[in-house]
Chain A
Amino acid sequence: MQTEIRNRPAFANIRVLLESGDSLIAESDAMASMSSTVAMKAQLAGGFFNAVIRRLFGQESMFVNEFSTYGTGEVVLTQPFPGDMECIELNGNTILLQPGAFVACESGVKLSAGWAGFASFFGKEGLFRLKASGTGKLWFGAYGGIFTRDVSEELTIDTGHLVAYEPTLKLKMGMAGGFFSFIFGGEGFVSKVRGQGRVYLQSRSMDGLAAWTNSHLY
């Protein structure tokens, strides 16, 4: 299997060349186009329980698609918003993805729903997040550019900008400054990640776009 992320960073999409025996799992509705030699099959995202949680709390589909072929063929995968994508290789480790970030993974990657905690919920980051573990490549995407920070103690992140983080980090809620900043500073609640590990952030947020658009509706 050959894969390439094209048109970075504005319109990242993945072109996959599948050969007989290869299989790739992709988010529901991620397929933009494919050869007619490629077969697509829906399957529950990480088993029934995980799929239900994903649907109820993550507002995502219960199903993901598995792509495979008997000969050779290409698949183009995309995400609903313009932005960059990142590919990481899991080697027994785990990464936590925010709702909407998952794009695709190799079949050795195990997807499950992980409890994110009430802090995450109040930070508008959702009660659950997707836990990806196992071995193989994992692709996730963002609205805007993706940048990483290696946290050693604590990092403050505005809500809506978190894409993915390592499980060695704990997510907490907080205020960006004092009470005055909280009311007038426009930052509201912020997330604080504590511990040691890597976070992936997006340079724009859909909440920000919605707020800007809302201020121009009349």
Chain B
Amino acid sequence: MQTEILCRPAASVARIQMQEGESITCEVGAMIAMSTAINVETAARKRGSSGGGVLKGIKRMFAGESFFLNHFTATADQQSLIIGPSLLGDIVSHPLTGGSLIVQGSSWLASGADIEIDATWQGLGNALFSGEAMFWIKCTGTGDVLLSSFGAIYEVVVDGTYTVDTGHIVAFEDTLGFTVGKSAGTWLNSFLGGEGLVCKFEGHGKLYCQSHNPPNFGKLLGPMLKAR
């Protein structure tokens, strides 16, 4: 399986070349185009696993994802699948080699068939105040995970501590943990400065951030729209 990201960074799509028997799991609605010898299967659980699908599907819904997943399997060699997210933005491919990647719900686009996808809880404080969904998507196993964003994606290698504004997190390795806290030295400064709460990462690992913040864009456009 080979993945190529096209049209970066403004309107990225991923083209996945598959050989017979290879398979990838995608977010519902991500498929843009595909060759004829690709079989599509919609299920609530990981392909080939048994049981626990309904519960995992419900947990995924709390993480801002869909209840169902689509599994694309090539039934012949040289098949290609093109997938993309709905917002304007970038896609990156993160290689997993046994560890786990914690993904912000709406940023998970696809992952290899050998990767387990589950919703994960990041603690009550983080769930309430991080500005993200209550649950996060946890990807574990070996293979590639495709992440999407609103805006460009930039990578930060954290060694110690690093601060990210709420709404800018795409994904992070589980060797990192975060707590929600004040952005400036004092609470007064944090709120006067408009940054409010931020996520403070600690540990050693890779962190993906998005350059733009979907809720901020929504807040700007929302008042200009007519009432329904």
Bound CA–CA A68/B50 (angstroms): 54
Bound CA–CA A207/B220 (angstroms): 11
Q: Which of A11, A209, A217 has the most CB of B within 10 A?
A: A11
Q: Which of A65, A79, A210 contacts B193 (CB 8 A)?
A: A65
| B228 contact set on A, CB distance < 8 A | 217
A 28-54 binary contact with B (CB < 8 Å = 1; else 0): 110111111011111000000000000
B221 lies within 8 A of A206 (CB): yes
Q: Which of B189, B192, B211 has the most CB of A within 10 A?
A: B211
| A76 contact set on B, CB distance < 8 A | 154, 209, 211
A39 lies within 8 A of B9 (CB): no
Kindly provide the distance from the CB of A74 to the nearest chain B CB, expressed in whole angstroms: 9
Q: Which of A7, A38, A79 has the most CB of B within 10 A?
A: A7
Q: Which of A11, A31, A65, A213 contacts B212 (CB 8 A)?
A: A11
Smallest CB gap from A34: residue in B: B163
| B224 contact set on A, CB distance < 8 A | 206-207, 210, 214
Bound CA–CA A62/B213 (angstroms): 21
Q: Given the known inter-chain contacts A65-B193, A217-B228, please indicate yes or no for A82 contacting B88, CB distance below 8 A.
A: yes
B212 lies within 8 A of A82 (CB): yes
Q: Is A61 in the interface zone, CB < 8 Å from B?
A: yes
B162 lies within 8 A of A36 (CB): yes
Q: Which A161-218 residues sit within 8 Å CB-CB of chain B? A: 206-207, 209-210, 213-214, 217
- Interface class of chain B by DSSP: mixed
| B89 contact set on A, CB distance < 8 A | 11
B220 lies within 8 A of A33 (CB): no
| A79 contact set on B, CB distance < 8 A | 212
Q: Is B184 in the interface zone, CB < 8 Å from A?
A: yes
Q: Is B168 in the interface zone, CB < 8 Å from A?
A: yes
A11 lies within 8 A of B9 (CB): yes
Q: Which of A28, A29, A32, A36 contacts B161 (CB 8 A)?
A: A36
| B195 contact set on A, CB distance < 8 A | 28-29, 31, 40, 65
Kindly provide the distance from the CB of A187 to the nearest chain B CB, expressed in whole angstroms: 19
The 10 closest A-B CB pairs, nearest first, are: A28-B194, A42-B193, A10-B10, A210-B224, A7-B152, A42-B192, A29-B194, A36-B161, A80-B216, A13-B211
Q: Which residues of B contact A (CB under 8 A)?
A: 9-10, 88-90, 151-152, 154, 156, 160-165, 168, 183-185, 188-190, 192-195, 200, 209-213, 216-217, 219-221, 224-226, 228
Q: Which residues of A contact B (CB under 8 A)?
A: 6-7, 10-11, 13, 28-29, 31-36, 38-42, 61-65, 76, 78-82, 206-207, 209-210, 213-214, 217
Apart from A40-B184, A42-B184, A63-B192, list 13 A-B contacts with CB within 8 A: A32-B165, A32-B209, A32-B213, A33-B156, A33-B164, A36-B161, A40-B195, A42-B188, A80-B219, A80-B220, A206-B220, A214-B224, A217-B226
Query: What are 14 pairs between A and B in contact, CB < 8 Å?
Result: A6-B211, A7-B211, A13-B212, A29-B193, A29-B195, A29-B216, A31-B165, A31-B195, A32-B165, A38-B163, A40-B193, A76-B154, A78-B213, A214-B224
